[in-house]
Structure 1
């Protein structure tokens, strides 16, 4: 752990509100053992944890952008060097966006660690055992997601699983292997699954949210049986989760928390999702420094390929005629959700897992469910290879502006042929140079 990460100890803004996420001030430092003292402050701490997850450095902007800027379909139209370097897939260890994402994820982990440590020891009679379990389960789930994201982006990392109250508390920790990091993810998911209720909440972790992330986890582990099983737990719950028609029904007209969403982060006018600012053109109040490139625009506008997913993009009026992304559009409020897991992903996970088990007919059924809701005719692929390629293409358009494309290509071993990146060292991001300088125990990724 870096010597100065302790400067970002969790700050939990105490509030009596249980319905709104907190606007956490990430650089303010307090002793969490004092801040979390009763039922009200425990709830506030958990709400603040979701703010960590939705911060600009994490799912509010930078971490997601690493995937779609690296994925080859999004262009950088601004002048800043860090995102330009990402879009060109020419990363260096001093890239500020990489450092921002890394730090934001570890801040999230540190905050989760306090909740896991302190909440079980609270004695407030208003804090029932069920609530204690729920808060711990949410913290375990979010910590699992954070380590999962670190693993798929940077490989094996330093595992910090206890609170950090001083700069020496976690000193001397070396990076764990990738397998050990994923083992930590599974351990946390198992704990969360046992503690959380089996309810439906699209903005917070429940047992069902755990099942969805486990499906993704087992896909990455190539455990096809379990990936299929956990995906089915969500898909088969048709009363609560389903694909919506048309494609934009999960985000158009200011809707939130639809049956399409398994887990999305809520934002407000006081806690904004930064994506809209980067995607919307100046005519609509944004900066349009991330934009679909010409190839993606052409593909999405082809009815035989994009179907009705061309609703993801729009064009400004003349004389500009600028194409822009329209998933994050709620200007000027910035209250667009951040979509972390949707039902469509579970269908595509199960489709791939079934291909790998030679259940081709069932795999096509899942794939075609996603295509049908996008207004596309059924896929005609007949071989395992052809179906897997079709799944890859559906992911490309289905999650064009979400954190999927780059990580999926790396996971499937397709990044070399699709993006012409042959150096395996470049399949992971560099460890920020600021972290390496600050922590003598933190080794860099090879090639950076």
Structure 2
């Protein structure tokens, strides 16, 4: 049989079994990252690599195993960054920043695609990622013996969120410069002095509805759908699931929303409109502090919506994705313009990278685990975001901090 060719028409190079497995895993990782799990077929990966589809099955028994292999290959890079780092936390973060740029797909696969794995495969990935988090947490605790376990968890989540922001920012910087920016943001987070506990003063939470403020049926459906999308993923929830959760049969739902896609678009439009609340207030510019405060408050009070915002954009119809994306981009630009007024030392790419890193901290902290329930999470997030936005990439040398 003739050897297969790559998509460009060139003959595929002969590789050893382990090399081919790695090539397939990394190719699949890129495709899952850009197109989503359900939009990628094994044949797509085989064609790009230049082998036949049956050849893929010699390395991965099915697409789920290929996804697990894709995530594993990214975790190999992250683990190597920890293995090669010295004892300095700053050096570790510098190396992890490089790993985040080398494998921008990893964090998206962990956040968005891992849920498609079966029981054993998902458990294995969860266990491996937990070991990575434990190793990094140990390094942070050694550098920060002043923090308790809860504060350490918050700092670890926030520091990794700054690095993960490279997966979604679309910022184009020379790699060395980009690595310095990410490292500076993560280092600033890791060394943040969190506000002292204020006993007896809990953070504000979403205000309970008064009887006269009872949501409409459409609002109830939307809120329920957002929660279900956040917990199970858009593709894992049906209209019947949403209806059953509010006591409606399938046909009754169509009176409010014709399709599940319409619900997702409405949820994203709600997020975009909420973040753009200042855009039309007539002022030439909104102070950065106001933008930060409003974003934190929205994240804490609408964590399920933020969870959907982070993981489900890939499922938006193209027209809606373009329209809502433009509105969200305008909010990012408002942050960037406000930061630029305060930080003339930053280049155009550096300021946007710090903005995405800061917003990424909120996105991950409010939706991961129970960090959103910390008594003073809004003031803690405020301190973390100030640290990111004040981070100085110029202080990071090429070989580390």
Normalised to the residue count of structure 2, the TM-score between the two structures is: 0.29
Q: Which has the higher strand share?
A: 1
| Higher radius of gyration, 1 or 2 | 2
Give the TM-score of the pair, scaled to structure 1: 0.27
Q: Name whichever structure is richer in helix by fraction.
A: 2
